[in-house]
Chains A and B, each alone.
Chain A
Amino acid sequence: MPGAANSAASLSNEEILRYSRHLIMPEVGMDGQLKLKNAKVLLIGTGGLGAPLGLYLAAAGIGRLGLVDFDVVDFTNLQRQVTFGSSDVGKPKTEAARARLSSLNTDIQIDTFETKLTSDNALELFKDFDVIVDGTDNFPTRYLVNDACILLGKPNVYGSIFRFEGQVTVFGMPDGPCYRCLYPEPPPPGLVPSCAEGGVLGVLPGIVGSIQAMETIKLILGSGDSLAGRLLLFDALAMKFRELKLRKNPNCPMCGEHRTINKLIDYYEFCGVRGEEAPAPNVQVPEITPRELKSRLDRGDDLFILDVREPHEFQICNLKGHLIPLGELPRRVHELDSSREIVAHCRSGKRSAEAVDFLRKAGFRKILNLKGGILAWSDEVDPSVPKY
């Protein structure tokens, strides 16, 4: 294991053989490979983007790789988080990633930080690394990573995805823009991430994360043209790459001429989100549990089941409810009979809570939200209903 204190001055014979395909390129050579060996890269997130990042940076011989993630491997992660295998489900992600990456490359040092990145620990965590790579999945952390990098003067290789689109750029270069130059304001409070829109083509983070790995390596080698000052947009379905100019905002409160932000703030408050990554539902509505619903149905109560999910979700599994996707509810509310008792459900209970709140404001009085949605129905009443 290379010691953290001293820079490596040479490569062993084994390393020369391992990295021979790098070494025979003049763009890399021995000097370049030594730069990679002496580099310290911190990956924020070991999920969809973190998977190709970890794999390719380890393969390239980055001497010290840090992995920050507080999550455990979930079965639904395996569709895209290719560092993990079926046997890793339930393990902390940093532990599973460390095992995979060190089996790929026993020469590198892998430091794991099984912790949530916060304003209290970010500066301390970042300070010993040369490049920070942002592979996270929520807005507060994006702003936190950005600000910490600007305060410490570290480049931030940014990549983000949504369904089948991706964005990549490099923030935090000396005369370059930062995340706040691009998005000075976060999304508004009261945002409810739609569970139906949370899907993603598994291979998309594979592509975007690989581009991030490429940009990280180029930064360390000092070769090629980095994406600093350019926003790369990728549309996987159209298979098109586009590029937009990213300008440094001279009035940016973080990296502009007159900085007004000198320390890390409460990013959840900044983004209007309290508590966990997923905002707490800001509606309190009357509820019914799956077990209560089952006993009322068995008793023969006349209940109208309203399903507010999307048609493709209805195909996966359903409670034979009347399907009105949440977004269509305002237009189709006439299909509902306010004199009947209605139980609204969705996948996990969030969208249906919004539906119940909306209908109550529209004057419906006999309406309940199925607590926990069809997922809870599967857990508590009928395990033959598939979960997704």
Chain B
Amino acid sequence: MSVKVIIPTPLRPYAGKRDSTEVKAGTVGEALGRLTTEFGDLRKHLFTEDGKLRSFVNVYVNDEDIRYLAKENTPTKDGDTISIVPSIAGGSSFFTIVVSTASPQLVIPSVARNLLFALCLLDLHLLAFFCI
């Protein structure tokens, strides 16, 4: 089933600046899964770390809120439109989570970690502590 997913303004920077995309899916959950596979950066904005849709993300199929249908199991058919509707209030949007959820450990390659550890060893406090 080919469904259109409308991407709200606050999320567009994480979806290649697109305002909508087409995905093949039989349910809302499948559609959002494919969306976040195509645009990996969207995942942390839409889902918690344990894979649940964030409770303040509103998702609609056509004009119906999925909370009143079958939530992520809501079936979708050809031509349906899925809308993600964030709460907005002037300059703020909850989707403006940027660096704070990134995990720093992921970005240091081991060579750099060794180098940083070596730099730490030169620190006088650590020298004294290790009695080098």
Contacts and interface: CB of A to CB of B under 8 A. Distances in A.
Contacts of B9: 162-165, 235
Given A185-B55, A244-B63, A330-B106, A354 B90 contact: no
A238 B99 CA distance: 30
Given A330-B106, A354-B100, A363-B108, A136 B94 contact: no
Interface stretch (A15-23, A101-109, A192-200): A192-200
A231 interface: yes
B131 interface: no
A199 B115 CA distance: 41
A136 B104 contact: no
A162 B65 contact: no
Given A183-B56, A184-B55, A160 B88 contact: yes
A176 to B, nearest CB: 14
Contacts of A165: 8-9, 88
Interface string B81-92: 001010111111
Contact of B92 (A137, A329, A330): A137
B13 A160 contact: no
A249 B113 CA distance: 52
A164 to B, nearest CB: 7
A197 B19 contact: no
B10 A162 contact: yes
Interface in B83-122: 83, 85, 87-94, 96-100, 102, 104, 106-109, 112-113, 115-116, 119
Give the bracket for the number of chain B residues in contact with chain A.
35 or more
A190 B68 contact: no
A139 B99 contact: no
Given A160-B87, A161-B90, 8 more contacts: A167-B85, A187-B93, A188-B97, A244-B60, A244-B63, A244-B64, A245-B64, A354-B100
What 5 pairs across the A-B complex have the smallest Cβ distances?
A137-B90, A187-B94, A198-B91, A162-B88, A362-B104
Interface of A: 48, 136-139, 142, 160-165, 167, 182-188, 190-194, 197-198, 200, 231, 233, 235, 237-238, 242-247, 249, 326-327, 329-331, 333-334, 338-339, 351, 354-355, 358, 361-363, 365
Interface of B: 8-10, 13, 19, 55-56, 58, 60, 63-65, 67-68, 83, 85, 87-94, 96-100, 102, 104, 106-109, 112-113, 115-116, 119
29 contacts: A136-B90, A137-B89, A137-B91, A138-B89, A139-B87, A161-B90, A163-B9, A182-B58, A183-B58, A184-B55, A187-B87, A187-B93, A190-B97, A192-B97, A192-B100, A193-B91, A197-B10, A197-B91, A197-B93, A198-B90, A238-B19, A242-B63, A242-B83, A245-B64, A327-B99, A330-B99, A330-B104, A331-B107, A363-B116
